[in-house]
Amino acid sequence: MQETGTKRPQTALLHEIRVTWGDCDPAQIVYTGRLPWFALDAINAWWEAHLGGGWYQMELDRGLGTPFVHMSLDFRKPVTPRHRLICPVWPDALGTSSITFRVDGEQDGALCFSGRFVCVFVDPSSFGKRPPPGDVRALVQRHLPQAGAV
């Protein structure tokens, strides 16, 4: 699949999640419904690390919304509370008014899941598509995998 075709760039943020008992189901592994939530936490952390605020600050302070239009995840290995979950997260593509993020989930050096997430930039008041502000565009471009190759 093309979504796993790009190499993870060295600039990917490593977001750490403390997995707990309450995240697990009776199979003693993290419930599947929690995993997209973890991945979203990683994307929010990427914005926070690079823009100084997550979705909350982006929407309330900057008037910029980024709702999801697509997500896909492949699950390879169960996630458990035995190890911290490390989620490399990076932007993988930038369109006129959309952005694609990739999020992996790793425990003890092994890949547990990998996901691809597409968001669109919108004006929160109208929910209409818009291009991202120039500083956001520049920020994302600097972190695209291709950027590292230049």
Binding site for its own copies (CB under 8 A): 18, 20-22, 24-29, 31-33, 36-37, 40-41, 44-45, 54-57, 59-60, 65, 67-76, 78, 80-82, 124, 127
Q: Would you say 7 or 18 has its CB closer to its own copies?
A: 18
Q: Hey, how many other C-beta atoms are within 10 angstroms of the C-beta on 48?
A: 17
Dist CA 121 CA 47 (whole Å): 13
**Identity at 65, one-letter amino acid code:** G
* Crossing angle for the helix pair 34-51 and 55-62, to the nearest 10 degrees: 50
Asked whether 64 and 53 are in contact (CB, 8 A), the reply is no
- Asked if residue 32 lies in contact with residue 76, where contact means CB atoms within 8 angstroms, the answer is no
Nearer to its own copies, 10 or 20 (CB): 20
Residue (62 or 148) nearer to its own copies, CB: 62
How far apart are CB 28 and its own copies at their closest, in Å?
Answer: 5
- Closest separation in Å from C-beta 54 to its own copies: 6
Nearer to its own copies, 75 or 148 (CB): 75
Nearer to its own copies, 73 or 148 (CB): 73
CB of 139 to its own copies, least distance (A): 19
Residue 11 Cβ, how far from its own copies at the closest point, in Å?
A: 21
In whole angstroms, what is the distance from residue 103 CA to residue 100 CA? 10
Could you tell me the smallest distance in angstroms from the CB atom of residue 62 to its own copies? Answer: 13
Tokens (6 digits) for 57: 């600050």
Q: Which residues 6+ apart lie within 8 Å of 109 measured at CB?
A: none
